[in-house]
Amino acid sequence: MNHRPAAFLLMILCIALTTGCWDREELTDRAFDLAASADLKKDGTYLTAAQFIIPARSEQSSTGGVGGDKSFFIETGSGKSILESIQKARQKLSRIITRGHRRNFYIGEDLAKRGIQDMLDTFSRDPGNRIRLDLWVVKGNTGLEALRVSYPLEKIPSVASVKIHKAVGGTTGTSYLDFMMASSAEGSFPTLPAVDLVQGASPQQTIRFYGRAIFNRDFRLVGYLDFVEGAYRQWMLNGISYFDLAEDIPEAGGSVGVIVTKFASKLRSSVSKANKVKMEITLTGVGHVGENNTNLDLSQQRNLQFVRDKINKKTSEHVVEMVKKVQKQFGTDVLGFNQALNRQHPKEWHRLKGQWDTIFPDIEVTVNVNVNLKHIGLVGPSLQLKESEIKK
């Protein structure tokens, strides 16, 4: 029996079914949203904006074709809701918005203070938004202004904040997910990384990684941790990979700077019979001396030990100050104390979690920082010192 005609017809049918796409948009019909922002206007309406790439100019710029032309443009829309403002922006675009390449979303400070719950609801319902996205609060400014800032090292300015955050030891692509997880965890409060706009060397403003924005349970901004305070918090939460410590040592007539590159932390909780919670924080790390402005010869073990002890003691005090600021000024557990207590004393946590907002500000905290200095560089004392000025 000859099956060749039937096999041939089946092959033709398979080819017809497996070629072409009838329900997809062509690349030339898409507008690629690389970054976006949301702000609150003075009349109470929302202003949203997005930064779109211009493919032709991007290609010319990468090959040196066009010098001054920007490889992106910004489009805005305003409305009584986030969704309406997005729709107003769509009415100005000739292409369908594609958000798969979006890496940053900037939130203006006024909107953050008013609350971002409505924005997050719209945000989380849109399947086009990536889960590996960074949300930023723009301290003292608007999200739109953050989008407008040009950055000389990047063709697309919105990439700069992510790279800056990574360069100073932070984690990227996680703030949206971390925010949503903290929002739903019992006793936790959400945070977001913060940037601000500062004057650069040229007349133009530039974007700077500022620190951490703290939110309450109503998703309203309550304050900030600056860069160093935020780094101490990230150290506690094992979310940092690089940190510079610089401390004055009056006994040695100067300061010593240490670059820490390995980090670990441990939180140990205890609960008394009177429901008094205590938290012991141990931060450890490995680093090397980056500068020595004292008269000490750090090649001498006793001098190195002296410097290490001083730096560890002062850093411990600074971490305590940061913790007290969070407890007394913000009253929001963004330090992971609730998680430590839940892991180590689940029965006590189950009993206390309903009162955690009132317990957290009064937790007794002790901090012990232990950074081990492995290297001191090529020299022991500063080369600028005379032999008679060096303390061996």
The residues pairing with 208 across neighbouring beta strands, listed in sequence order, are 196
Q: What is the pLDDT of residues 234-273, one digit of tens each?
A: 999 999 998 998 899 888 888 899 999 999 999 999 999 8
Higher pLDDT, 335 or 377: 335
pLDDT given for residue 378 in this prediction: 54
Span 366-374, average pLDDT: 94
Q: How far is CA 199 from CA 32, 36, 206, 225, 374, in A?
A: 30, 22, 6, 21, 37
Q: Are residues 274 and 160 in the same domain?
A: no
Report which of 167, 252, 183 is spatially closest to residue 215, judged by C-alpha positions. Answer: 183
* Boundaries of domain holding 146: 28-226
The SS3 of residue 221 is strand
CATH of the domain at 300: 3.30.300.210
Name the pTM for this structure. Answer: 0.85
How many structural domains does the chain have? Answer: 2
Q: Are residues 64 and 150 in the same domain?
A: yes
Q: What is the pLDDT of residues 41-55, one digit of tens each?
A: 999 999 999 888 777
Q: Are residues 217 and 264 in the same domain?
A: no
pLDDT given for residue 336 in this prediction: 95
Mean pLDDT of all residues in the chain? 85
Q: Are residues 270 and 148 in the same domain?
A: no
The residues pairing with 104 across neighbouring beta strands, listed in sequence order, are 35, 134
Please determine, for residue 65, whether its predicted confidence score (pLDDT) is greater than 60.
Answer: no
Q: Are residues 246 and 303 in the same domain?
A: yes
Q: What is the pLDDT of residues 103-145, one digit of tens each?
A: 889 999 999 999 999 888 888 887 777 788 899 999 999 999 9
pLDDT given for residue 1 in this prediction: 52
Residue 130's identity, in one-letter code, is: R
Q: Are residues 67 and 210 in the same domain?
A: yes
